[in-house]
Amino acid sequence: MPTILDGHLVAQAIRQKLSQQVGEIQASGGKAPHLAIMLIGNDPASHTYVKAKLKACQEVGFCTTLMQHETIAEKDLLRQIEEVNNDPAIDGLIVQLPLPQHISVQQVINSIKPEKDVDGFHPLNYGRMARNLPAHVPATPLGILTLLDHYNIATSRRHCVIVGRSSTVGAPLSILMGQNRYPGNATVTLCHSHTQQLSELTRQADILVAAVGSPGLITAEMVKEGVVVIDVGITRVPDKTRKAGYRLQGDVDFEAVAPRCSHITPVPGGVGPMTIAALLLNTLRAAQNRAYTAD
Ligand code: NAP
């Protein structure tokens, strides 16, 4: 049977360490890191993610500010971002995506002060990351790298196939996995909806990352024996047997694929908790003014 890459467990260990660090900062007269979250609209999944992010912050002793609007004009949102940019008490800011259609995501991202952009979406952070310079790295790719590192999974000389090229997950991960460091030094193939013969490529993967949002897309026939599978996908699938009326499903047909893997992430409990842990790590770096200094 494969090793389950337990994101809950690793994230818990990260939170414990962060909690200690916050204690040390406060003991030496410093202030706890402070994350502000802006949540616009009524998307149920966004509300769930924000709740989980706030809970994780509180658990490690970070201060939080939630700015929530059922609806807001773009100019008012940009003004509020500017206020947070100029507020020395706040170290990190995220605007939960997706945003309502009348708001330009790019405008919003561009308006966040790069030092406070703990989601790592600002072009300056993205560019620094791509140049292998210290930067706020997007939380999901950072969480995946941290998980690979925790389980000592070899990446050098291995073929990493990533399905999904979003600017928040697949594309930045493809850059990071190809860089000259660990985890990295992989040969990377980035697939998307225009990729032909996807199965031929996924079958070559030593490390397969699925970040699509298509439940069960990756089947047993699409992977080779011994592959490491990272399932980023989270989709709410209607399920009347569940109290919530839905269950969360990944992009990988877990039951069929797991027996062929050396390692695999579960959904939920794999990449999700690691994403939140990575956000906490970025927020601490922001609070310590370490976003642009090497570790
Ligand atoms: P996204 O922006 O919708 O991107 C999906 C990507 O999948 C696109 O690049 C798309 O190709 C590609 N794609 C769609 N159908 C495909 C197919 N049949 N074959 C190959 N590629 C295909 O999604 P995202 O934001 O990256 O999120 C992906 C999934 O991860 C979602 O389920 C999301 O909820 C989940 N997620 C989880 C976490 C976490 O913490 N666990 C974090 C972020 C996202 P094109 O570019 O050609 O359209």
Summarize pLDDT for 20-71 with one digit per residue, the tens: 999 999 999 999 999 999 999 999 999 999 999 999 999 999 999 999 999 9
Q: How far is the CA of 271 from the centre of ligand 1 (A)?
A: 14
| 231 carries an active-site annotation | no
Tokens standing for 269? 């409990």
The boundaries of the domain holding residue 235 are 139-273
Q: Is the predicted pLDDT of residue 140 greater than 90, yes or no? A: yes
Catalytic residue among 6, 80, 91, 96: 96
Q: Is the predicted pLDDT of residue 295 greater than 90, yes or no? A: no
Q: How far is the CA of 65 from the centre of ligand 1 (A)?
A: 29
The reply to whether 158 and 192 lie within a common domain is: yes
User: What is the structure's pLDDT at 273?
Assistant: 98
Q: How far apart are CA 161 and CA 149, in angstroms?
A: 18
CA Rg, the chain, in Å? 19
Report which protein residue has its CA nearest ligand 1's atom 39.
Answer: 272
The reply to whether 164 and 101 lie within a common domain is: no
In a domain, 56, yes or no: yes
User: What is the structure's pLDDT at 294?
Assistant: 87
The reply to whether 160 and 89 lie within a common domain is: no
DSSP string, 90-126: --EEEEPSSPPTTS-HHHHHHHS-GGG-TT--SHHHH
pLDDT in tens, 249-278: 999 999 999 999 999 999 999 999 999 999
In a domain, 3, yes or no: no
In a domain, 176, yes or no: yes
161: CATH: 3.40.50.720
Q: How far apart are CA 161 and CA 103, in angstroms?
A: 33
Q: Is the predicted pLDDT of residue 225 greater than 90, yes or no? A: yes
In a domain, 75, yes or no: yes
The reply to whether 52 and 108 lie within a common domain is: yes
Average pLDDT over residues 87-94: 98
User: What is the structure's pLDDT at 173?
Assistant: 98
Domain count, the chain: 2
137, 234, 265, 275: residue to mutate for ligand 1 pocket, most atoms within 8 A of CB: 234
The reply to whether 163 and 68 lie within a common domain is: no
8, 49, 192: residue to mutate for ligand 1 pocket, most atoms within 8 A of CB: 192
The residues that bridge with 232 in the sheet, in sequence order, are: none
80: CATH: 3.40.50.10860
In a domain, 78, yes or no: yes
Q: How far apart are CA 141 and CA 175, in angstroms?
A: 10
User: What is the structure's pLDDT at 270?
Assistant: 98
Residue that is last in its domain, among 114, 149, 164? 114
User: What is the structure's pLDDT at 135?
Assistant: 97
Q: How far is the CA of 234 from the centre of ligand 1 (A)?
A: 9
Q: How far apart are CA 209 and CA 50, in angstroms?
A: 24
In a domain, 128, yes or no: no
For residue 276, which atom of ligand 1 is closest to its CA?
A: 40
H/E element, 129: helix 123-130
* pTM listed for this prediction: 0.97
Residue that is last in its domain, among 114, 130, 160? 114
pLDDT in tens, 1-27: 899 999 999 999 999 999 999 999 999
| 119 carries an active-site annotation | yes
Tokens standing for 51? 């709740």
For residue 170, which atom of ligand 1 is closest to its CA?
A: 26
For residue 217, which atom of ligand 1 is closest to its CA?
A: 18
In a domain, 184, yes or no: yes
In a domain, 9, yes or no: no
| 206 carries an active-site annotation | no
pLDDT interval class at 241 (50, 70, 90): very high
Q: How far is the CA of 166 from the centre of ligand 1 (A)?
A: 6
